Chain A
Amino acid sequence: MTDFQVPIWGYWLMGIGLAAFIVMLGMYIRKNRGFKRPLFASPYVLWLVIFTVIPCLLVAYFSFTDPAGNFTLDNFKNFWDSNFNARKAMDQEELNMYLSMGLTLEDLGLARNSINIDTLVFSLWMAFLCTAICLLLGYPAAHIMADRNFKLGPTLVILFIVPMWMNFLLRTIAMMSLLEDNGLINNVLEMVGIGRQKLLNNTAAVQLGMVYNFLPFMVFPIYNVLNKMDYKLSEAAMDLGCDHWHTFYKVTLPLSVPGVVSGITMVFMPAVTTFYISRLLGGGKISLFGDLIEAKFLSTSLQEWNVGSALSLIMMVLILLSLGLLRRVDPEGEGGGMV
Chain B
Amino acid sequence: MMKILKRFYLGLILLFLYVPIVVLIVQSFNAGESRAVWEGFSLTWYGKLFNDPNIMKSLWVTVSIAVLAALFSTILGTLAAIGIHAMRKRPQAIMLTLNNIPMTMPDIVTGISLMLLFIFTKVERGYVTMLLAHITFDVPYVILSVMPKLKQMNKHSYEAALDLGATPMYALLHVILPEVMPGVITGAMLAFTLSLDDFTISYFTTSPLVQNLSTLIYSQARKGIKPTMNALSALMFVVLLLLLLLVNKRSSKQE
Contacts and interface: CB of A to CB of B under 8 A. Distances in A.
Contacts of A275: 108, 200
A56 interface: yes
A167 B80 contact: no
A322 to B, nearest CB: 10
Nearest to B225: A173
Contacts of A168: 197, 199
B185 to A, nearest CB: 13
A177 B135 CA distance: 34
Given A52-B101, A173-B225, A141 B10 contact: yes
Contacts of A43: 76, 79-80
A338 B104 CA distance: 13
Interface core residue of A44, A215, A290 (most chain B CB under 10 Å): A44
A177 B116 contact: no
B76 A44 contact: yes
Interface core residue of B9, B13, B112, B204 (most chain A CB under 10 Å): B112
A175 B120 contact: no
Q: Is the interface of A mostly helix, strand, loop or mixed?
A: helix
B126 interface: no
B83 A42 contact: yes
Nearest to B96: A333
Contact of A320 (B104, B144, B190, B233): B104
A44 B87 CA distance: 14
Interface string B75-116: 011011011111100010001001101101111111011111
B153 interface: no
Given A174-B21, A187-B36, A169 B109 contact: no
| Interface residue tally on B, bucketed by range | 35 or more
B117 A145 contact: no
A269 B106 contact: yes
A308 B117 CA distance: 15
A217 to B, nearest CB: 12
Given A6-B120, A38-B91, A174-B23, A58 B113 contact: yes
Given A35-B168, A167-B213, A312-B109, A41 B84 contact: yes
A316 B105 contact: yes
Interface residues of A, number: 80
Contacts of B121: 6
B106 A167 contact: no
A6 B2 CA distance: 66
A126 to B, nearest CB: 15
Contact of B86 (A37, A170, A180): A37
Interface stretch (A92-100, A156-164, A192-200): A156-164
A118 B227 CA distance: 38
Given A52-B136, A59-B116, A144-B6, A167 B233 contact: yes
B116 A58 contact: yes
Interface string A28-68: 00000001111111111101101111111011001000000
B87 A173 contact: no
A215 B109 contact: no
Contacts of B27: 174, 177
B188 interface: no
Nearest to A59: B113
Interface of B: 6, 9-10, 13-14, 16-21, 23-24, 27, 35-36, 76-77, 79-80, 82-87, 91, 95, 98-99, 101-102, 104-110, 112-117, 119-122, 132-133, 135-136, 139, 141, 143-145, 158, 168, 172, 186, 190, 193, 197, 199-200, 204, 213-214, 217-218, 221, 225, 229-230, 233, 236-237, 240-241, 244
Given A38-B84, A269-B106, 5 more contacts: A55-B117, A165-B244, A316-B105, A316-B109, A323-B104
6 contacts: A40-B79, A47-B139, A167-B213, A273-B107, A294-B108, A308-B112
